[in-house]
Structure 1
Amino acid sequence: MSEMNIRDYLEEEFKEDKLYQELIRLGREDDIFNDEVLKLYPHQIYSTKELSLILNKHESTIRNYIRRDYHDGALYDYLEPDRINLRTFRYNVRSVFKFVMMFVYLDLEDKGIADLLNILGLLSTKVIHDTVNDNRSLNNNNGTSQEISDQKLFAIGKLLEHKNHKNELLMQQLELNRKHDATRLNIEVVKNKIQIIQLQEKLLLSEKKGHSILDYSLRKTIDSKNKKTGFFASIFSKKEDSEDPETILNQAQANAEQINVQINESELQQLNLEIERLTEELKTIEEQKEVLAQKIDAASNISFNDNYDYLDQDPRDGGEDDE
């Protein structure tokens, strides 16, 4: 299936989808039709592990969004995962694309689950449910109503706290990305320095060989001209005293092959040590990025139950055995 065909397929399938329409309106068309999406096949079925690679998200993050208790299962119904058994899910191309759109939207600044559910029209039921419960509590017991208000304020405070925490993590991620790019660039610079030294060595060697060949050829030619000439000289001179140009050139090239040049081994050694140091530094940065990515995912996965109790879900809970 070609790239254009899968894109046409998805555009036709989701032209009435509210989230799709919102992302197009926000100019995020290139984000949702990224390289990974354009590799999808309409009839392919994907595992959670495969989906995590497509989304560049941890499997635990994916499973968190399809928990039945997560916002009353609203996202579970929208994302359409196919549950094979208690711990295993599969996803068709529609489900995969919905996950892509969801994470593109949630990665936007100041966008959260409530905004997403509101766009999809999935928030109204929960809001009405909470409002009815609040009104009943108000009529039955003012103290209970105050308690619910306090719980709401606590939940809002926790939400703001986590948003600030997530923003701090995102700033750290930007800084790590900058360091990562700078370190990779420095490695390339050092490699280029080594190549320049090696090329200079080859150039110097080539020049010395050329000078040697020219010098030898000229001296042999001058020696030949200085030999005695004339009738008697031609009679009494030995034949081996006269060398033809090809012999001279061959001998000159043979002499040139013995020439060598000394390079700055100390400088090369220092440059190679610098590459090793930068490579180790790059590895450390990549490990830090991996840890930070997990923290950002965890900071994104917050929710509140119907009693406005803060849920700090361990992303490892309910894991999938998806070998």
Structure 2
Amino acid sequence: MANIDVSLLEDKFKEDPLFIEIKSRADIDDELFPESIKNMYPDREYSTKEARGILNKPDSTVRYYINELKDYIQPLRNGRNFRLTVTHIFRLHLVFILIAAGKTVHDLRVNLGLDIQRVEGDQNNRINGNPIKNQKQLIALMQELSRQNQLLMNQSIEYRQLIHNSNLKRDSIIKHTIEIQKKMIEKEKLQNELSEYRQQKRRDLIDQNLIKLLTKSKQPQKKIFGIFPVKNDNDGDIDNEKMLINNLEKDDKEKSLESNIKTLEDDIEKSNKDIIALEESISALNRQLESKDQILESFISYKEIASTTDGTNK
């Protein structure tokens, strides 16, 4: 079921010059209300990418004709992007019907009262339907085409360089990630080695102290007058040995292992920071690529449309 009331749309456009011209031509008047137009929502705003699906035209072509006939289309703005209502899209639809029927942008602008009618010259003395009045005009046109081609070439070089830089940074992220994984494995091995070394060191010290304690325990206890026991010197040794076991001093091997672990931790932290910086840089490059995409699409659209118009007027 259609969402658009065709009768309301006809009433709204009854004085529109393009609508009137199409209605007056039996060969194209049946193209006014295709299903894609009828199925639009009257209260909704559309992006140019959504409009291309309704109009069955590339996004770059839609944006080209919006820019060329902005005074007629009168699109809404959302920052750098266009927003289009049913009215705007239907105006574009009228434009595309007449362009397909052989009209040029200049013809439409004249019909809409946006341009004055040009004096037609000899058909052989025309480029893209517009008369060339003299040699100076031709030279100026060729210079402009040359300038446009040079701009396109420069934009293409910059575009390729941005892609190259983005790929290099992605490769660098992969390398950093691999290095981090290797260092994490190496760090875990060193931590295990340090833990095992400390446990063995503690066991060795305990064994040594047990031997000492057993040896000293075999000595007879001293007594005063053969009756009162005297405190054994071993008691102090036992306390000192317990403190020594609980507060083992770090030897050179432990210090070396700890230093290596700390170095790996610092390297891993630095690599993670480098990855974050690279990701931010790639995001910035992607934004530049999006901007270049729009510029290149505009150039390509301009050339395609100019070529099509030239072919129509031959």
Which bracket does the TM-score occupy, shorter chain normalised? Answer: 0.3 to 0.5
**TM-score, normalisation: structure 1:** 0.40
If asked which structure has higher relative contact order (CA below 8 Å, sep 6+), I would say 1
